[in-house]
Amino acid sequence: MPIDTRTLLNGLRSAALRDQLEVHYQPIILLRTGRLMGYEALLRWSHPTEGMISPDIFIPFAEQHHMMFEITKILFEKVLTEQAHWNHSVQTMISLNISPSSLPEDDLSTLLEPLTSTDTINRKQVILEITETAIFENPVSSGALIHRLKSEGFTFALDDFGTGYSSLTNLRDLPFRELKIDKSFIQNLDEQHSNDHILIDAILSIAHAFGAIVVAEGIETKKNLLQLKSMNCYAGQGFLFAKPMPASDIEGWYEQWPVQWRQLAHQASHAMI
């Protein structure tokens, strides 16, 4: 049964929210070498009666009800606390999803300050992911925010590329270091008559021309991996490598990763295309 509005609203406003929100981390991998590029931090809401509620449900709701300041604050605090406990070898880049329309410029700066003024994380390690749709809804304020925070040392990724109002002017006018191809394109690559490889090739060329790197989301099969590698896609994330996991699982995953990658690379090179 879908969760009702009142339950969502009461839950998000409850004092217990801080304990119920969890951050899961999904590794992002360099496709040529298998090296770890970083992690995307993804929120989870472990509700006492409703079970695990997907961010796809509660984030849009929180945006609508002006609760993103509190939620993003909890996210940043948790990321900071959890990263402080990670072994240095697993500490790399950390990608955070932000909703600029529901987080005014000053609020976001206030939230980012404690996250990046510690010994644990510096701002060069933080990639802020903004969806195309968010930029489309609020082009002027999103643009100003991106330019200002870029000048303060933050890096930006254009998220869910291809699903929204894919405007190439975003790549021309805004300083994105990274472009993330939405998983719907990657998953279609496996379809026999899909033309998505043509689109992905074109996206890669355009991104490279603008000096941006491309991260493919939703890599689920060895065939996807081989296709993306052969197209020179820089990095990727997906269930083939790892599902998003709690901070406590990261070190264990990282230890076994070289073996997993060798097997994947070997099997992918023998996969039928």
- Taking the CA atoms of residue 69, residue 38, residue 225 and residue 163 in that order, the dihedral angle to the nearest 10 degrees is 20
One-letter identity of residue 73: K
Assess 224 for contact with ligand C2E (CB under 6 A).
no
Q: Which is nearer to ligand C2E, 127 or 171 (CB)?
A: 127
Q: How far is the CB of 56 from ligand C2E (least distance, A)?
A: 5
Q: Which is nearer to ligand C2E, 43 or 108 (CB)?
A: 43
- Considering only 67, 94, 98, 268, the residue that binds ligand C2E (CB under 6 A) is 98
**Which positions lie near Ca ion, rule CB under 5 A?**
97, 129, 159
In angstroms, rounded to a whole number, what is the distance separating the alpha carbons of residues 238 and 103? 28
Q: Which is nearer to ligand C2E, 159 or 178 (CB)?
A: 159
Q: How far is the CB of 231 from Ca ion (least distance, A)?
A: 21
Strands (E), the chain: 21-30, 36-47, 51-53, 93-97, 126-131, 155-161, 178-181, 213-216, 235-236, 245-246
**Contact partner, 119, from ligand C2E, Ca ion, none, Cβ < 5-8 Å per class:** none
Assess 142 for contact with ligand C2E (CB under 6 A).
no
Task: Note the Cα 217 to chain centre separation in Å.
Answer: 9
Helix count (H) and strand count (E) of the chain? 12, 10
**Contact partner, 98, from Ca ion, ligand C2E, none, Cβ < 5-8 Å per class:** ligand C2E
In angstroms, rounded to a whole number, what is the distance separating the alpha carbons of residues 186 and 200? 8
Q: Which is nearer to ligand C2E, 81 or 87 (CB)?
A: 81
Q: Which is nearer to ligand C2E, 26 or 88 (CB)?
A: 26
- Considering only 75, 149, 157, 233, the residue that binds ligand C2E (CB under 6 A) is 75
The CA distances from residue 266 to 29, 65, 187, 220, 263, in Å, are 16, 49, 21, 16, 5
146-174 b/e (C-beta count within 10 Å ≥ 16 → b): beebbeeebbbbbbbbbebebeeebbeeb
SS3 130: strand
Q: How far is the CB of 99 from ligand C2E (least distance, A)?
A: 4
- Considering only 94, 108, 237, 264, the residue that binds ligand C2E (CB under 6 A) is 237
Assess 135 for contact with ligand C2E (CB under 6 A).
no
Convert residues 158-197 into a mask of x (bound to ligand C2E by CB under 6 A) and - (unbound).
-xx----------------------x--------------
In angstroms, rounded to a whole number, what is the distance separating the alpha carbons of residues 184 and 163? 8
Residues 6+ apart with CB under 8 A from 38: 27, 28, 92, 93, 94, 95, 125, 127
Q: Which is nearer to Ca ion, 43 or 115 (CB)?
A: 43
Assess 217 for contact with ligand C2E (CB under 6 A).
yes
β-strand pairing of 235-236 with 213-216: parallel
Q: Which is nearer to ligand C2E, 9 or 57 (CB)?
A: 57
Assess 119 for contact with ligand C2E (CB under 6 A).
no
* Residues near ligand C2E, by CB under 6 A: 26, 42-43, 54-56, 59, 75, 97-99, 159-160, 183, 217-220, 237-239, 244
